[in-house]
Chains A and B, each alone.
Chain A
């Protein structure tokens, strides 16, 4: 069976063509890269586009470039490419952890990082990493270009700062020297579940910290109260407990099909405690598999 909804399909070679179509159609045109969310949304009637603009032939959107300590991730770059990329493995461990938790191999071979942030669901696994690295989202419209800091990107569930006539061309992240990261995700089972809770932690040197979470608020967020408390202090058991005590001021979880609000509150404490202990081990050169931290065998 084909999809019940009918649409036109165009696969331009140049970004300008895609942009002028986007300008013409506005939100009646959807961008197609991996399609792993888009096709499901069309099938379920959530989206009813008149036109799909397939951007996979636009070469500049497939770049994965490393220069000046900055990684530019074009909007066609898939999670599989990021997982296999040595720069990501070496310099952006928190992002690497997150990419590995998304979907399954068959999904990661198609799904893109840009598509992930454009879906803007609260459980977005890649968001804590991008928030901790303070990523920039590169957007283009006809005759215009702008960069949006990721902390201004998520407006509400499924809503982003992208304008109707704009296309995301990629995401850039800058290496943070002397930093260690970890992403801890809890799903109902190991394998392709969405996050019940996700925490990203970045430790810079031994006294600066960044924290961000997903699936625990309407949009993924940095945890600034916890950061303020921790910054300037070295990590020890006392600090960890103080940080955990601040969790209720940082998150605003709901009860949904995946778990209750109470459970999300409770499990966040455990995730943060184990995450901070694990990051300490990582910084001393120990190999840590984040999935094992939450009981996966």
Chain B
């Protein structure tokens, strides 16, 4: 066991981990952060997306020990004070049904909008090309995001 410390949603956290423990599992099972989900455990579905130093990454492909001294942000972090505009838009446009994909998609798009507040539909699609949704058919997701870009729905 090794003790690692890192920033989780702007709070310093310490946790004991073995080298073979996966970040996704440590977040969910040791730190009580339940928004990242396990879909495929092989990098294909994006349900486990978290922000690592501001960038959307797959927490199922990262060892917990790797994030020592780094910053991790999850949905819990971006909605601590209140729901973000993106989350509100997701509710308004019914952008999820089971909701399993939503935390990952919201984080990936949060990163996109930070870099590029007025993305085109194409750029939006590219940013979540690795986030699978089995319920919505994606249209309501694109609509919600487009409503924030100042370009209206498509």
Q: State the A residues within 8 Å of B (CB).
A: 1-3, 5-9, 11, 32, 35-36, 39-40, 42-43, 52, 54, 56, 80, 103-107, 109-110, 190-192
Contacts and interface: CB of A to CB of B under 8 A. Distances in A.
A2 B25 contact: yes
A193 to B, nearest CB: 10
A32 B49 CA distance: 20
A142 to B, nearest CB: 24
Given A2-B25, A104-B46, A9 B56 contact: no
A68 B68 CA distance: 37
B42 interface: yes
Contact of B19 (A9, A56, A103): A9
B22 A105 contact: no
Interface string B65-87: 11010000000000000000000
A191 B42 contact: no
A106 B61 CA distance: 10
What DSSP secondary structure best describes chain B's contact surface? mixed
A56 B56 CA distance: 18
Interface of B: 2, 18-22, 25, 41-44, 46, 49, 52, 55-58, 60-63, 65-66, 68, 108, 111, 126-131
A109 B68 CA distance: 18
B22 A106 contact: no
B33 to A, nearest CB: 16
A2 B2 CA distance: 14
Contacts of A43: 41-42
Given A106-B49, A107-B43, A2 B18 contact: yes
Given A2-B20, A3-B22, 13 more contacts: A1-B22, A6-B19, A7-B19, A11-B65, A11-B68, A39-B62, A42-B20, A80-B55, A103-B130, A105-B56, A105-B108, A105-B126, A107-B130
A32 B67 CA distance: 13
A35 B20 contact: no
16 contacts: A2-B21, A6-B18, A9-B65, A11-B65, A32-B66, A35-B63, A35-B66, A39-B22, A52-B63, A56-B66, A103-B130, A105-B126, A105-B128, A105-B130, A106-B43, A192-B44
Nearest to B107: A106
B22 to A, nearest CB: 6
Contacts of B129: 104-105, 190-192
A1 B68 CA distance: 19
A106 B55 CA distance: 8
Contacts of B43: 36, 40, 103, 106-107
